[in-house]
Amino acid sequence: MALVLKTDIERGDSWHRAFRALLPELELRDWRAPGAPEDIEFALVWAPEQGALAKFPNLKAIFSIGAGIDHLASDPDLPPGVPIVRMVEPGLTAGMVEFVVMSALYHHRFMLDYAVQQREKVWREIEQIPTFRRRVGILGLGVLGSACAEKLCDFGFQVAGWSRRPKSQVGVESFHDADGLTAFLKRSDILVCLLPLTDETEGILNAETLGALPHGAAFISVGRGKHVVETDLLSALDSGQIGGATLDVFREEPLPPDSPFWSHPRIVVVPHIASMTIAETAAEAVAQNIRRVQAGQPPEHIVDLDRGY
């Protein structure tokens, strides 16, 4: 039983170690030298070249290394009938919850303003707003979005979520569909984007939608760069419509050196690190799914390619 792995070299080691402990009968093959294609039953990949997966005739499942699967869905030559599995693993979820809660608290507590004051050596209190008066809105209530929502509720924020279909989560106000979007945005002082990237969600954050937020709202971009019309976001930041932003994802990554995001005083830029799959915990999720497939069951967390996530 062989799995072909496409990841960066440093992380390869941790996957090898983790699988050796969990599933010693699994042979790990390197993407660049996978050996006989017909040996390969599983693929664990991030952003494979288009058409490359079609070369393995006996694939039983394709596992995405990250939470998003847009890097796979964009391949017109995916091998037909092979299930694509999103990454759902506790390390990835925990990392996203840490990053989103930290960033929400950062904007909630005016840390961008305090950073300016520090640079100017100004000692001035900004009046604290209790979380129960602060409304956080999460675009996308999937595994990551709902985990973030739960933790933000624990801090007493007013939390709402927007998704394609209505969702039911304790303490979280649910908005859905195109009709619910404006009402959702109007009540979101801090907006978090955790949507999947699909034809429907590309460019969803633009002049019109950003303009529907309360004046001075904060924006935390942790979905995909293509959710955002970047020039519209810059205009909204420059006008003060958006008061501050934490940006983890961009249309072009690495973010080019001439991007105005780098030096904008109201933007925190991080290099797509909001959450990383942790091989140690993720290998367990993959191993479990491999065992399911070997036992004739379908893997968990299969992607619906028609809806795009």
Selected catalytic residue, list 86, 134, 224, 227: 224
Rounded to the nearest whole angstrom, what is the least distance from the CB of residue 273 to a second copy in the complex? Answer: 5
Nearer to a second copy, 52 or 269 (CB): 269
Residue 112 in contact with a second copy, rule: CB under 8 A: no
Residue 85's SS3 state is strand
Nearer to a second copy, 88 or 207 (CB): 88
**Upper half-sphere CA count for residue 49 (Cβ side, 13 Å):** 4
Order of strands, edge to edge, in the sheet holding 135-139? Answer: 172-176, 158-163, 135-139, 190-193, 217-221, 242-247, 267-269
- Of 258, 261, 189, which is closest to residue 225 (Cα–Cα)? 261
- Of 210, 209, 262, which is closest to residue 239 (Cα–Cα)? 210
Residue 118 in contact with a second copy, rule: CB under 8 A: yes
Nearer to a second copy, 124 or 165 (CB): 124
Residue 171 in contact with a second copy, rule: CB under 8 A: no
Site for a second copy in 221-280 (CB under 8 A): 253-255, 257, 262-263, 268-273, 275-276, 278, 280
Binding string, residues 91-110; x marks residues near a second copy by CB under 8 A: x--xx-xxx-xx--xx-xx-
Selected catalytic residue, list 266, 272, 292, 301: 272
Nearer to a second copy, 53 or 194 (CB): 194
Ranges of H-type helices in the chain: 9-22, 70-73, 90-108, 111-119, 143-154, 177-186, 207-212, 230-239, 279-294
- Which are the contacts of 6, defined by CB distance < 8 A and separation ≥ 6? 31, 43, 44, 45, 46, 47, 48, 65
What size, in residues, is the chain? 309
Specify whether 292 is catalytic.
no
Residue 302 in contact with a second copy, rule: CB under 8 A: no
Residue 71 in contact with a second copy, rule: CB under 8 A: no
Look up residue 252 and give its two tokens: 């072009």
Residues near a second copy (CB under 8 A): 10, 91, 94-95, 97-99, 101-102, 105-106, 108-109, 111, 114-115, 117-119, 121, 123-128, 130-131, 151, 154-156, 253-255, 257, 262-263, 268-273, 275-276, 278, 280-281
- Residues with a catalytic annotation lie at 224, 272
